[in-house]
Amino acid sequence: MRKRTIVAVAMPLVAIMLAGMIGCGPKPPSRRGGRGGGATGSDLTKAALATYVAPGDLDEYYLFYSGGHSGQIFIAGVPSMRHIATIPVFTPYPGTGYGFDDETREMLGEYDWGDAHHPGFSETDGEYDGRWLFINDNANGRIARIDLRDFKTKQILKVPNISANHGSSFVTPNSEYVTMSTRMSIPFPEGTYADVTEYAEKYKGLVAGIKIDPEDGEMSIGWEILVPPFNYDLGDAGKKASDGYMFWTCYNSEREFIEGGKLEVTASQKDKDYILMVDWRAAEKAVEAGQGRMVAGAPVLDPKKTSDIAWFIPLAKSPHGVDVSPDGRWIIGSGKLSPTTTVYDIEKIKKAIADKDFEETIDGIPVLTYASVREAEIPVGLGPLHTQFDGKGYAYTSLFVESAVAKWKLPPYDAGADMSQYVVDKIPVAYNIGHLVTAEGDSVTPDGNYLVALNKLSKGRHLSVGPSIPESAQLIDITGEKMSLLYDAFTEPEPHYAVMIKADKLDPIEVYKKEDSDNPDAIWSAEEARIERNGRMVEVWMMAVRSFFAPDVIRVRKGDTVRIHVTNIEQTRDELHGLAINDYNINVVIDPGETKTITFKADKAGVYAYYCTNFCSALHQEMQGYLLVK
């Protein structure tokens, strides 16, 4: 849904809705670079002071943006919004040598890209604990773990049967599980052929719980649940009052894919779609009890055979976000074609389940009676997508169509009250917001100070860079009664969600200590450098230090396989070295104390220089050697 083509198609709709329903057309900016929002001088001074981080000073929060189809994660500081670094996850990144050494190449497997969507922190008791960051690949059924000790991708797990893993990576309060789900249903099991004319019967959706090892964060498949062929979209994990449950929205409950029929039309026919709710502890028990059928290595539960693991909750059609309030009591669902956001009460949901208060059953999954579980419908505005919280009793919902953020009050509400009074503030954003994030907004105690609007369009807000226009992220102050815009920042394609963590929760290392190295191929002095031949395999143990490599000459014969283990023996922070081999398409970067291994076939005869790519010292230019291929 978040693809640029769809956005482009949606734009005329935006114009029509704004013109027709609000009564005024969008105003063009008076001049390129002109300040919008009608801010006065004193507002600007306040915003400038609130976001200015003086040279040498540090930001208050880390902001981890997903990089969308760039396959990366971008790190910025809040409140300065300065981009600090990029973590490559699903895409090779020569800047850090990711995807060029044997280990990361194996981790990336057959893929050159992924679609990084929703980052999620590990949690302890519902609080971000700063250990790991998970992120899903919407394109290839994968999920990755980043270790926040060194900000490196440590694992990419390919999960069978899941197609287009979008409802991910939402983490349970003690990091028991992280979610996965199928956005684009395919015939089950994966690899099966069935024509789209058989969509309703042969195609299946799946949701999955990925188990997280509490010690090292290693992910493994916990369980999968077979669900109807709807499009499972976004999710969240229950907490506190709703601990033990997972939630996903889904659209296309019409259950069809009509060739040439346009899914945007066919999937929008029914008034209501659903939130899928799963009892993950029940799913875990069912798998332990052997009720899962092993399919492609995953234990798959079928709600037709295993009851009391999954339920549907009706929601306004074509929903996107489902978000759990910090106390876990309120489940908030947003149908993007509806002008309201719906609040559900987990206590009412539990009661409806106990009372078997069901409207119908779909593929073994009971549908709870809407009127019994709904708490309220809040008229937040047009195109509600995703909701975040401030920990002070308010929710913030992004409005894609209206291009705004609505601030509204969580329950309790007065009986019979006009619900529009609970929408207490609204701020326009530039332009067309998708997700939003508040400081520690997915935890049980959000900080309630900063909100970042992740906007899909940024036209005219920055120096023009031609038609490939970047996305925009706007920092908004939510400490007061009224929200106020502080700053515009721009990102490469394309954040779908971001998470924000207090800076003091992370304490990353900056050097891999020599004494901690357990790589058997590490060497720590020029004297230990050596080259050994074993048949057609030439193995090199190399070290890099300011400003030379040892060895600086490698002699091989054409057709040999060359394996180089290169250790950066520096123990000083920021003394990185690179190793590029010209015309062999190789570039790795080795951090202080790190050892990387590269393997390649010397299939081109001649002399090829190798050199340090990551600037290291005054004599960096001299840091080079020769690969002689006879």
Partner 1 sequence: MSGLIERLTAALDAGLPLRSRLLVLVAFFVLLPVFFTPLWHVTFVAQQYPEGLNLYIYPHDLVGGNDGNDLTEINVLNHYIGMAELKPSDFTELKWIPLIIGLIAVLTLRCAVIGNVRSLVDLIVMLTYFGGFSLWSFWYKLSYYGTNLDPKAAVKVEPFMPPMFGYRMVGQFSVWSYPAVGTYLFTAFGLLLVVALYLAWPRQMQPS
Integer Cα distance of 331 and 248 in angstroms? 11
159 near partner 1, rule: CB under 8 A:
no
The three-point CA angle 318-282-255 to 5° equals 25
- Span from 81-89, 413-421, 535-543, 569-577 in contact with partner 1 (CB under 8 A): 569-577
Q: Closer to partner 1 at the Cβ: 295 or 509?
A: 509
Closest residue by Cα to residue 470 from 455, 486, 452: 455
The helix/strand/coil state of 106 is helix
Q: Provide the token pair at 177.
A: 């599980």
> Which 3 state secondary structure label does DSSP give 562?
strand
Q: Does 618 bind partner 1 (CB under 8 A)?
A: yes
* Cβ-based nearer residue to partner 1, 415 or 618: 618
Residue with smaller CB distance to partner 1, 392 or 513: 513
Q: Does 54 bind partner 1 (CB under 8 A)?
A: no
Nearer to partner 1, 45 or 572 (CB): 572
What character string, x for contact with partner 1 (CB under 8 A) and - otherwise, covers 488-527? -----------------------x-x--------------
CA–CA distance, 213 with 211 (Å, rounded to integer): 7
Q: Of 28-36, 272-280, 299-307, 616-624, which segment contacts partner 1 by CB under 8 A?
A: 616-624
607 binds partner 1 (CB under 8 A): no
Name beta bridge partners: 333.
322, 342
- Interface pick for partner 1 out of 236, 570, 591, 594 (rule CB under 8 A): 570
Q: Which residue has the tokens 């193995």?
A: 539
Instruction: Answer left, alpha or beta for residue 16, where phi above 0 means left and psi between -120 and 50 means alpha.
Output: alpha
Question: Binder to partner 1 among 307, 479, 572, 585 (CB under 8 A)?
Answer: 572
Least CB distance from residue 149 to partner 1, whole Å? 17
The least CB distance from residue 582 to partner 1, in Å, is 24
CB 629 within 8 Å of CB 558: yes
CB under 8 A: which stretch of 115-123, 296-304, 472-480, 615-623 binds partner 1? 615-623
Distance, in Å, from the CA atom of 417 to the CA atom of 411, rounded to the nearest integer, reads 12
Cβ nearer to partner 1, comparing 293 with 546: 546
Which of 403, 386, 385, 407 has its CA nearest to residue 459? Answer: 403
* Shortest CB 526 distance to partner 1, Å: 11
Residue 190: Cβ within 10 Å count: 17
Report the DSSP pairing between strands 72-78 and 530-534. Answer: unpaired
Q: Is 619 in the site for partner 1 (CB under 8 A)?
A: yes
The b-or-e profile of 310-348 (16+ CB within 10 A means b, else e) is bbbbbbbbbbbbbbbbbbbbbbbbbbbbbbbbbbbbbeb
Is 310 within 8 Å of 279 (Cβ atoms)? Answer: yes
**Closer Cβ to partner 1, 304 or 513, answer by number:** 513
Q: Is 571 in the site for partner 1 (CB under 8 A)?
A: yes
Q: Which residues pair with 315 in a beta bridge?
A: 273
Q: How far is the CB of 343 from partner 1 (least distance, A)?
A: 52
Q: Is 213 exposed, middle or buried (0-12, 13-18, 19+ CB in 10 A)?
A: exposed
Which span sits near partner 1 by CB under 8 A: 277-285, 417-425, 486-494, 618-626? Answer: 618-626
Residue among 355 and 574 whose Cβ is closer to partner 1:
574
Applying CB under 8 A, does 58 fall inside the site for partner 1? no
Q: Report the greatest alpha carbon distance in the chain.
A: 87
**In the complex, least distance from residue 544 CB atom to partner 1, rounded to whole angstroms:** 12
Which of 335-343, 552-560, 567-575, 602-610 is the region at the interface with partner 1 (rule: CB under 8 A)? 567-575
Q: Read off the DSSP letter of residue 439.
A: T
Q: Which of 166, 156, 306 is nearest to 223 (CA)?
A: 306
**Binding-site size, partner 1 (CB under 8 A):** 10
Site string for partner 1, 537-566 (x = CB under 8 A): --------xx--------------------
Contacting residues toward partner 1, per CB under 8 A = 511, 513, 545-546, 570-572, 618-619, 622
